[in-house]
Amino acid sequence: MSHIQYALVLIQRWDKTLCVRLNGALRFAALLHGFRAVSWLGDGIFWYSLMLALLLHQGRDAAGAVVHMALAGVVCTAVYKLLKRSTLRPRPYEVMSVVARGAAPLDAFSFPSGHTLHAVAFTLIAASYYPWLAAILAPFTLLVASSRVILGLHYPSDVLAGALIGAAIAVGSLAAF
């Protein structure tokens, strides 16, 4: 076995082990309901509400930020859908019988986490316009990312990849704007 193959085996083992351990939190009803709520908000409701709140509170001054977030959201969705269709990675609860499904998935495949991808991109863009939002958005984004693994819908590597892709899209769009 090559060094690369060995490293991939170790990463896959870590991915599965961490997934199972985090998913174990679902045995606590309060955590299950809390992470379901966070995941549901991360479906887009939180981000659309943020954009609306910015427009209502800041008026025309928020238009640039909101348009930027919306355009980045379109790019995030296109990249996410392309990757989902090309990788076809099954969700953890489908592969490992010890992983419970804590919520209904939005689509069939696991890689990457679209919730995390969008959350990171939106957080970085919104905080670049309104730095005071970082104190609210960063913890919410971490909860969204965690919820995806805890609910058995993603492996940690799906979430990490989603975060990196979301960050790349945000940074690229900030450089372009």
Work out the mean pLDDT of the chain and round it to a whole number. 94
The count of domains in the chain is 1
Question: How distant, in Å, are the alpha carbons of 4, 12, 47, 81, 148 from that of 40?
Answer: 37, 28, 11, 19, 10
**Cβ pair 105, 112 in contact under 8 A:** no
Q: Which two tokens stand for residue 105?
A: 């998935």
Say which CATH number the domain at 35 has.
Answer: 1.10.606.20
Q: Which two tokens stand for residue 122?
A: 């939106």
**How much is the pTM?**
0.93
- What pLDDT digit, counting tens, does each position of 133-156 carry? 999 999 999 999 999 999 999 999
- 1 has a pLDDT exceeding 90: no
- What pLDDT digit, counting tens, does each position of 64-94 carry? 999 999 999 999 999 999 999 999 899 999 9
Residue 32 domain boundaries: 3-176
pLDDT at site 7:
82
- What pLDDT digit, counting tens, does each position of 159-175 carry? 999 999 999 999 999 99
- Alpha-carbon 34 to chain mean position: 16
pLDDT at site 117:
98
- What pLDDT digit, counting tens, does each position of 98-113 carry? 999 999 998 989 999 9
